[in-house]
Amino acid sequence: MPELRPESIVVSAGRPEGRGAPLSYPPVFTSTYRHVDGENRYLRNEGSDSVAALEAALGALDGGAATVYASGLAAVSAVIGTLAVGSVVVVPDAAYSGTVALCAEQQELGRLTLRRVDITDTAAVIAALDGATLLWLETMTNPLLGVPDLPVLIEAARSAGARVAVDATFTTALNVRPLDLGADAVMHSTTKYVAGHSDLVQGVLITRDTDLCEAFQAARRLGGALPGAMDCFLALRGLRTLSVRLERAEANAAELARRLAAHPRVTRVRYPGLADDPFHERATRQFAGYGAMISFEVAGAAEDADRVCRSVRLITNATSLGGVESLIERRAMHAGDRELGVPETLLRFSVGIEHVEDLWTDLSQALATEW
């Protein structure tokens, strides 16, 4: 059979094979296995069929070998844990707050030296790579939705002798595969688009480097970050519909971003699918789609943005993204994002798969509340 396209991989990969086999591996709820011929199998060390099936599917989708973790932050920790004391890490100056906080803690402990830089500024990133051990990138920065020039930065890092890890949670492997661009590792919070139903916490690392894969597995084993059987089962079930969910959510996001940009109470819309977005050209060149995340700023002060969040009815005011339901929140309410310079009235909007007209009706009435 010829190589499958991503839309087929999400449906077919990681299934049992053979006559009479079930279509999916059932979750096996055990921590302990009987000894067989001297084999001392233990769940934390070897995992289970539930773990292996999910890893097979996610690895096939991104084009590498996958290691799943009990959370996205555990996956980030595994990457940082592979670095020697004294390593220099180039990180985004505004990114997922958990990544930034983890790296900052390691610097305070004297393990790492951080160079924080705007990863959308190609020249600044390249200038920061001298002597660096690791470059950490996001395919879209969280929550400002900036798009770095991935091929250029990955090539520059490799030329400088630095490893490259890319958080591709916002774009998913359906829109870009960083390993194809030369990255050493790609990370996803599978909590988000992969699982897609806001019912689990999980992360994954994928790499084509055998030694790095072994290091990631060792980090999971020694750190005790193996995900549970039910979480793996749910994540794999969610993966099966990723393509159709993302297609619908992206179509909704494109239309809502266009309408928000014309709304009198919206002062700025950040969405790379808009033709006048500063990162539109990069996103068009690098991605198969623009994603389903919108960040927009409303007129007024923080309390006005909070009022919008309190006034939505179909959309949910909550922290997370990538689920079938639409979520919105004011990001600067979180100290970590506020300290990174996120505007006080910026609302991060994860667009779901509801009917676009119902979403717009809800946004419109929330924006029309008395200020």
Phi first, then psi, for residue 204 (nearest 5°) are -150, 150
CA pair distance 170, 178, nearest whole angstrom: 13
Q: From residue 35, how far is each of 32, 45, 81, 247 by CA, in Å?
A: 9, 14, 32, 47
Quick one: how far is CA 187 from the chain centroid? 7
Q: Of 62, 167, 306, 337, which residue is the catalytic one? A: 167
Q: 167 and 187 in contact (C-beta within 8 Å)? A: yes
42 is catalytic: no
| Spatial contact of 190 and 72, defined as CB atoms under 8 Å apart | yes
Please indicate whether residue 96 is annotated as part of the active site. Answer: yes
The one catalytic residue in 115, 116, 177, 192 is 192
User: Cis (ω within 30 of 0) for the bond into 143?
Assistant: yes
Catalytic option among 5, 41, 44, 313: 44
- Catalytic residue flag (residue 192): yes
331 is catalytic: no
Candidate list 96, 193, 271, 290, residue with the active-site label: 96
Enter the DSSP assignment of 350. Answer: E
Cα–Cα dist 232/185, whole Å: 21
Give the CA distances from residue 363 to residues 69, 264, 317, 330, 359, in Å, rounded to whole numbers and listed in that order: 36, 13, 12, 14, 6
Q: Which residues are catalytic?
A: 44, 96, 167, 192
